Structure 1
Amino acid sequence: MEYSKGVIKKVAGPLVIAEGMRDANMFDVVRVSDRHLIGEIIEMHEDRASIQVYEETAGLGPGEPVVSTGAPMSVELGPGLIGSIYDGIQRPLDDIMKVSGNLLKRGVSVPSLKRELKWEFVPTASVGDIVEPGDVIGTVKETAAVTQKIMVPYGIKGEITSIKGGTYDVTETVATVKTEDGEKELTLMQKWPVRKGRPYKEKKAPYKPLVTGQRVIDTLFPIARGGVAAVPGPFGSGKTVIQHQLAKWAEADIVVYIGCGERGNEMTDVLNEFPELKDPKTGQSLMERTVLIANTSDMPVAAREASIYTGITIAEYFRDMGYSVALMADSTSRWAEALREMSGRLEEMPGEEGYPAYLGSRLAQFYERAGDVVTLGKEGREGALSVIGAVSPPGGDISEPVSQATLRIVKVFWGLDSNLAYKRHFPAINWLTSYSLYVDRIGGWFEENVNKDWLKLRQELMKLLQEEAELDEIVKMVGMDALSAPDRLKMEASRSIREDYLHQNSFHEVDTYTSLRKQYMMMELVLGFYNKSMEALKQGASVDKLIKMPVREAIGRFKYTHEDRLDEAFNEIMDKLAEEVANTLEKEDF
């Protein structure tokens, strides 16, 4: 094959302009200079190609060669992905370290999937079967938690002429398929261009939640399975802890975590903590179902732009197997900054705050790849890809372009609040500014699977919190004593909602995860106190005595109750509540 060859005309940071590239195509991967630096063509102008280089360009000069590979930026998909730590363009960092030591050398070329590893392939199809793209021909047990399904790649359809179990590396032929274009060999690995979403049969409307075990999320602002959420928040408001909690507890089979342009020490924490985190589902390390992509802020800026696409393509591959995948992108703001830098170097017309005019459409292309889908293949498995993107607005100001463009696309907004974080209220999700547009769609699922009163109780919680915010203004001006008895009770009930229900300790072994059934019981208890006390108040009970009832301590501590004692503890507290409310009335009558 004749590759397009050119020479460097100009170097501007990560942007290289090369001449003589008339035969190259947009988004082709190129090798720049004799050092073989990896780059990608992002603009064509007659025979001039603008190339974003994914490695440091110091020392490059005009006249050096540029060679196109003739293929777009692609990732290798197959056994060996799970537990790996990649950079933004899917180079395995552990293998690069073996080759070049602790400091990343330029031009290092290492295969993404380890060629020396052998995998046990168990065929599920047999000779003579007619297969089409997406059909499963066999499985590979990759870790204790993940079995990879080996699928027929896109574009191959025909009859299996040979298939054999055994141990193979990712490049060896495991089956052959007779197609209209002749025999095709299938290996354990397939490649896919990162900027193109993997195809599926049908995208379904969201109908069930992605249960996370985090009360403020599941109860007030749920995300659908296959949904998209944004977590904007200023420095120190707990974005990374929330993403860790979701990675650990969300009902997802696979987690893909993209550290995109974050500080090196934060990424180091993630790389150290993830292998240490115990997977509650299997008891093994969380890395047994995780793929990490590390692209820190000191790495070349162009690779940051690619890391988001690399991550979501890997996530789509597992979705196509029928798994539920959760993708965490931390943070899309740094990715947008990389777009802005490349756009500036290309001398494009800047949009708002210097970001390119296409910022919104690029963000939409990324988030739209999420969804609950029916996959290709005869059996039509159901797979889901949920995307949770952290946004780091400068100074915590969400009126800036990246936050606003994101909010126009996503359906869930978990607004982190530095004031709550300073008060040590975690998760610091502000219940007055956050929202979820999935509630109406997936509310029916909660009513069917948890309790028919779920939405009613949720509505009561939200109403009390909003009324508390209004009363708070009065309290600040004239003090609590100026409030009427019902309003004082309302303030106390709201405090109970905030401190006993919404505040959740991610480091406490019981409180770190709350099942939906337990969440419902906690709502019942908190609102039970309010409703029963309000009734007693109407019958003449003293508000001070109602507020000081000892049962309130038990309601607050219910969140530390183990799952196997829930019914017993719930009934005990409810009986106690009824008894103590009755006591306040007797004393008043006397």
Structure 2
Amino acid sequence: MKDANRTGRMRDINGPIVTIELPGARSGEQVKLGELGLLGEVISLRGGDAIVQTYESTDGLRPGEPVRGLGRPLSVELGPGLLGGIFDGVQRPLEAIALASGDHIRRGIDLNALDRAREWRFTPNPALEPGARIGGGTLLGTVPETATIEHRVLVPPGIEGELEEIAPAGDYDLEATIARVRDAHGASRRLGLYHRWPVRQPRPYRRRDDGVAPLITGQRVIDTFFPQLKGGKGAVPGPFGAGKTVVQQQIARWSNADIVIYVGCGERGNELVDVLETFPQLDDPYTGRKLMERTLLVANTSNMPVVAREASVYVGLTMAEYYRDMGYDVVMLADSTSRWAEALREVSGRLGQMPVEEGYPAYLASRLAALYERAGRVETFAGASGSVTLIGAVSPPGGDFSEPVTSHTKDIVETFWALSKELADARHYPSIDWVGSFSGHVHTAAEWWHQEIDPNWEQRRTAALALLARDAELSRIVNLVGPEALSDPQRWELEGAALIKEGVLQQSALDDIDTFCSPAKQFALLDLAIEIYRSGESLIRLGVPVSELQNLPLLAKMRRIKSLYSSEELDRIQGFRDEVEEAMEGVRGEYAKQD
């Protein structure tokens, strides 16, 4: 946008919505309001007035105070130094803010997201020489952003022309010029280590690809039963206390993505404090170094201005797309999209827009769809493959999955991990309900499982889900007339389902051994549970009473084995499998003698 630094005045203030007079104002433009310089964004133009949503509290502002247009849309700084950072909803660095203003964010504080004083070791791309044709996505060089992530410095989208010069290897700060390019009009443009990008504009790519590999989270109920592909769209809906935040934190900690972005969007401050204090202490299970070396956090708690909550998700997504363009697999976790939607509802109400379902604006569904559409696996302009996996938590009031945010999200996403208050009350964690959840990626994920782990994966998964469905039917009968009404085969079906639920699906985030489960161990546990059930089923057909099978010590050990042996001790799980076969054959031999 041109004509930056225009001035005007405020006319009316309605909470975070401010009406201003600003000559030449454009929709989406950033403005500074009042003597404090509060940050805002033009969201509507009405005659000669502009309607601004403010990302800070407007308490104390008065009509008539000055307004200044910045001439650019709400944007983020993209460059080395993002990883390991903790930002607020409009990408202000919280650690730098704490040093400048203490425990409370001073209104109007304006700090660069990236440290201008820090120098980075830049190594130019040896394939580039002056005179080469370059364009958006061309690799200029690399910077070691952390010990585990190489930052690939790319030509920003929309810039192309003839390379005039490129800086030699050396240490440069963010303001230094590392390359110059002459465009088609003959103008020379400088390129640095960082650039700005509007958060509401998706970053372009060459083409969209289908997902091919699952996102391994180390959580059995997710990876084995309801898998998510890299580049997929997922949701974790659940009522208060069902464990949404823990599920997302486990995914952030253990997923095999290259980059993790965690956006705390309107959640309680104590939950985000736990994230902010815990994550910097965690070790990366894949590199042995600190997890924050490939993680960045966006923190916008429920007591922060509601409009910044709406912006925080777009800020996180834009940074995710930036690393995707480098060819990395990024997972972004938004906790929660319900709080994001509530911000939309509040702003639309103050604007006087017609409410529809439960007071939400009519454009809720389209905004949600556009948000999730920015996820995906793509081929970048550099020819690399990168992905953004977007997983949003949803907090339906009272656990009502028919409310608008949950129902619209369910129509959009490909993976739906429905959390159950009943399972959480029964201390079954993760409380993902196998009846209400689904994944549209099973067949694609099966190709990976069959090739990398075992060709029987999909068959075992189907058998386990069928057993769990049968368990739901029989449990209703038990609740009505008692277990005595069931036959021995039916009672053994209940026992088999219990082995699946307790020995496979349950997984404690606080268990040092079981907090993460490798794909090989996941299949070993599932296969073992199914094998025990089928062996018992054949014994019951021989006439063995179900009570005798239920008294076998191996059943109790099957429930505990997930916490006894780590993912590196598969041989010991195989040893237990041999014990199971020996015990079952012993029972079979006794009844064969009686016959």
TM-score (norm 1): 0.97
SS at match of 1:307: helix
The offset of 1:85, in angstroms, is 0.8
How many percent of aligned residue pairs carry the same amino acid? 46
Aligned equivalent of 2:79 = 78
Aligned equivalent of 2:96 = 95
Among candidates 315, 320, 324, match of residue 319 of structure 1? 324
Aligned equivalent of 1:225 = 230
The offset of 1:92, in angstroms, is 0.7
Deviations 1:342-384 (A, max 9, x none): 000100011111111001111111110000110112xx11001
- 1:98-117 matches, within 5 Å, as 98-117=99-118
1:9 aligns with 2:11: yes
Task: Check the 8 A contact 2:420/2:433 in 1, yes or no.
Answer: yes
Partners of 1:202 and 1:254 lie apart in 2 by 21
Q: Using the TM superposition, name which of 365-374 and 262-271 deviates more.
A: 262-271
Partners of 2:588 and 2:136 lie apart in 1 by 72
SS at match of 1:425: coil
Deviations 1:386-418 (A, max 9, x none): 011001111221111111111111111111111
Task: Check the 8 A contact 1:84/1:292 in 2, yes or no.
Answer: yes
Partners of 1:504 and 1:159 lie apart in 2 by 56
Aligned equivalent of 1:349 = 354
1:451 aligns with 2:454: yes
The offset of 1:432, in angstroms, is 1.1
Aligned equivalent of 1:390 = 393
Deviations 1:195-241 (A, max 9, x none): 00000011112222111110000111111110011101111111111
Aligned equivalent of 1:424 = 427
- List alignment gaps of at least 5 residues for structure 2: none
Counterpart code for 2:577:
M
- 1:368-447 matches, within 5 Å, as 368-377=373-382, 380-447=383-450
Partners of 1:216 and 1:518 lie apart in 2 by 13
Counterpart code for 1:198:
R
Partners of 1:563 and 1:430 lie apart in 2 by 25
Partners of 2:56 and 2:231 lie apart in 1 by 34
1:248 aligns with 2:250: no
Counterpart code for 2:546:
V
Aligned equivalent of 1:131 = 134
Counterpart code for 1:192:
W
Q: Using the TM superposition, name which of 456-465 and 91-100 deviates more.
A: 91-100
The offset of 1:568, in angstroms, is 4.9
Q: Using the TM superposition, name which of 471-480 and 443-452 deviates more.
A: 443-452
- List alignment gaps of at least 5 residues for structure 1: none
CA RMSD across the alignment: 1.4
SS at match of 2:504: helix
Deviations 1:124-178 (A, max 9, x none): 1432333221011111111112111000111222232222221111111011223
The offset of 1:323, in angstroms, is 0.5
The offset of 1:22, in angstroms, is 4.7
Counterpart code for 2:255:
A
The offset of 1:449, in angstroms, is 2.2
Partners of 2:398 and 2:59 lie apart in 1 by 32
Counterpart code for 2:123:
V
Partners of 1:147 and 1:585 lie apart in 2 by 59
Aligned equivalent of 2:174 = 170
1:155 aligns with 2:155: no
Among candidates 281, 288, 307, match of residue 276 of structure 1? 281
The offset of 1:13, in angstroms, is 0.3
The offset of 1:537, in angstroms, is 1.4
The offset of 1:577, in angstroms, is 2.2
Counterpart code for 1:8:
M
Aligned equivalent of 2:299 = 294
Deviations 1:491-547 (A, max 9, x none): 001001000110112222221111111111111110111111111111222222222
Partners of 1:136 and 1:510 lie apart in 2 by 42
Deviations 1:284-338 (A, max 9, x none): 2211111111111111111111111001000100011011101010011111111
The ranges of structure 1 where at least 4 consecutive aligned residues each deviate by more than 4 angstroms after the TM superposition are none
Partners of 1:548 and 1:566 lie apart in 2 by 26
Q: Using the TM superposition, name which of 231-240 and 309-318 deviates more.
A: 231-240
Counterpart code for 2:244:
K
Partners of 2:487 and 2:535 lie apart in 1 by 17
Partners of 2:103 and 2:566 lie apart in 1 by 45
1:502 aligns with 2:510: no
Partners of 1:461 and 1:472 lie apart in 2 by 16
The offset of 1:283, in angstroms, is 1.8
- 1:544-555 matches, within 5 Å, as 544-555=547-558
Counterpart code for 1:515:
S
Task: Check the 8 A contact 1:545/1:584 in 2, yes or no.
Answer: no
Aligned equivalent of 1:511 = 514
Partners of 2:229 and 2:3 lie apart in 1 by 48
Task: Check the 8 A contact 1:22/1:46 in 2, yes or no.
Answer: no
SS at match of 2:381: coil
Q: Using the TM superposition, name which of 185-194 and 417-426 deviates more.
A: 417-426
- Count of aligned pairs between the two proteins: 586
Structure 1 residues 209 and 63: alpha-carbon distance in aligned structure 2, compared to 1, 3 A threshold: same
Partners of 1:240 and 1:514 lie apart in 2 by 19
Partners of 1:275 and 1:518 lie apart in 2 by 28
Partners of 2:281 and 2:500 lie apart in 1 by 33
The offset of 1:552, in angstroms, is 2.3
Counterpart code for 2:12:
K
Partners of 2:44 and 2:55 lie apart in 1 by 15
Aligned equivalent of 2:20 = 18
- 1:165-244 matches, within 5 Å, as 165-181=169-185, 182-244=187-249
